[in-house]
Amino acid sequence: MAEFTLDLNDDQKQIRDWLHGFAADVIRPAAAEWDEREETPWPVIQEAAKVGIYSLDFYAQQFFDPTGLGIPMAMEELFWGDAGIALSIVGTGLAAVGVLANGTEEQIGTWIPQMYGDADDVKVAAFCSSEPDAGSDVAAMRTRAVYDGAKDEWVLNGTKTWATNGGIAHVHVVVAVVDGDLGSKGHASFIIPPGTPGLSQGQKFKKHGIRASHTAEVVLEDVRIPGHCLLGGKEKLDERLARARERAASGGERVRNAAMATFEASRPAVGAMAVGTARAAYEVALDYARTRSQFGRPIIDNQGIAFQLADMRTRIDASRLLVWRASWMAATGKPFTSAEGSMSKLYASETAKKVTAQAVQILGGNGFTREYPVERMHRDAAIYTIFEGTSEIQRLVIARALSGMPIR
């Protein structure tokens, strides 16, 4: 078991510096253009594929880092470059992780390479879970998957929303209800192969921030897929449903806690994204305060500015420490007895909103214009307190963990 340390090893430092260089040289120069265009930055994704960042191998190496710091370190550096472009680069990973977590070896080997394509023909994938009436309330999910035994096919109907790469993806991973009486335990995940009839893109959202990342609805109308596209296979699903039915009466709370533990382990990665955006805005504000003069001296010479910067840096470092702690705990199998995963995501996401707002304030009128990047960073930061569970949901999870009570 890896011992906890705040020192990155030489390999981690080399990867961090490599990612930082890509973020500085490739992502940042393109950020304003793709934010304005509100389109998927295919050329940047292709550059990431050419150097090996946009690939399953790279994310697998970071995921299996025994210290747990590989993924948060990568997220922080890429999102330091630009949140919208970074999300376009890492968004396929959401679908890939869904297959890795639930798929058979054959499914993993078949579908994940198709999600990424190659450097000459890059592809993206989409993970489709949220619905118009089922975001945080997963029990309200309405998309249904019905098995047609005569043809060994699954038939899917419903609408997914807030899907990164939804509709433009080569491969879609869709979560659907197979047994409505079992809540989240009655859900299963399915691969929708490219070109499958009945799947279409619904509304493409014009967003406040992360505008270089494609977000849309995915509409499923009598989508028929072969039986082997059920992740994990039908035998495994039937066994899981049977266990869930047996536990429903006496062990329902235990089932819900197991599902919550899965979410807890993924939230630090979003916290790391928020740390990257906050750090970027802080650095712009610090540089501006050092070089901008008013009344004959740099504005950082005023306590009102200097103290803000001190608070900004303190919150960023505290956020990173919470993210690293939770990531290390997940990697080493330590239980989140106090919802440490949610703590890291809550604090880091709120920090990103606060720090980017302070950066705009320090830059004054310049910060309110698109001539300076803090305006974009402030818009981007708003998403962190919303996706992967809102701040209100994080507080609910933490409060339940601390009290042991079913707080509502």
Residues forming the active site: 388
Phi then psi dihedrals of residue 90, to 5 deg: -95, -10
- Going from the C-alpha of 235 to that of each of 104, 202, 230, 249, 312, the distances in angstroms are 12, 33, 10, 23, 52
CA–centroid distance for 196 within its chain: 26
Do the Cβ atoms of 316 and 282 come closer than 8 Å?
yes
Give the number of C-alpha atoms closer than 13 A to the C-alpha of residue 202, restricted to the C-beta side: 16
Which residues are CB-neighbours of 189 under 8 A, at least 6 positions away?
98, 102, 173, 174, 175, 176, 230, 231, 232
Do the Cβ atoms of 183 and 245 come closer than 8 Å?
no
Report the first-to-last Cα separation within the chain, whole angstroms. Answer: 37
